[in-house]
Structure 1
């Protein structure tokens, strides 16, 4: 059984977004575990690099959401997408548990499914330029929050290690 197809229905406004499918495949489904149908991408692999990997994955996901916002995603849809990438980044940054979580959550794939459903329901809103600034601000806020959480986590781990030794 192949993984669920996340390609857009071919319409004039979605043709511009073809590269999103390529990025989502790269981040969430590029590789297959031999002998299984389980697929994973670069996101969980990047998550193995403390802090830098999580920030890189967040950057790619944020870029995808900004592109989807520019191409007609509604404000409500973008908010749901931001929640997905926030969960992916925050939980994914927890050592060990986050690495396992990254293999299964696949925020980018979830966001593409949300956008596809949005288009299929006829909720496409044109250029989305009005939403774009809000998305940019939302991503910056999430980024600052992510840095703060990672800092707090690092301090906690450091103090825990110091107390053991």
Structure 2
């Protein structure tokens, strides 16, 4: 369970947990593609897309609290906005969202920042095959 502290290690734990819920909650059998709440919410027209964007914005908010540059925050906002535009297409918008995964992209931006400025928070990523 991620802690509620404001230190970089706690922030890393929270954004990694949020990204997992939004993008990799379970794997679709047969195609081995991870799916999370972001895609599921995109199936609900309107409110689902807005809810997914709001949850994704939490990751950008945590990045702002880390003191990341305005450019990095803007890139993250662009990822969230593009993902939201894709999701506005009822039902069909969930398909490109399977491949774009804005929250995973935003997590990579945060990890690069943390690895550079707070290397003590670095963790070993184990990717399933």
Write 1 or 2 for the structure with the bigger share of helix. 1
- The two structures, once aligned, show a CA RMSD in angstroms of 2.0
Tell me what 2:3 maps to: none
Q: Distance in 1 between the 2:118 and 2:72 partners?
A: 10
- Does residue 15 of structure 1 match 2:9? yes
Tell me what 2:24 maps to: 29
Any conservation in 2 of the 1:93–1:99 contact (CA below 8 Å)? Answer: no
TM-score under structure 2 length normalisation: 0.79
TM-score under structure 1 length normalisation: 0.63
Structure (1 or 2) with the larger CA radius of gyration? 1
Structure 1 residue ranges, 4+ long, deviating more than 4 angstroms after superposition: none
List runs of 5+ in structure 1 lacking aligned partners: 1-11, 125-165
Any conservation in 1 of the 2:43–2:94 contact (CA below 8 Å)? Answer: yes
Equivalent residues in 2 for 1:1-165, closer than 5 Å: 13-17=7-11, 18-122=13-117
Tell me what 1:163 maps to: none
List runs of 5+ in structure 2 lacking aligned partners: 1-5, 120-129
Aligned length: 113
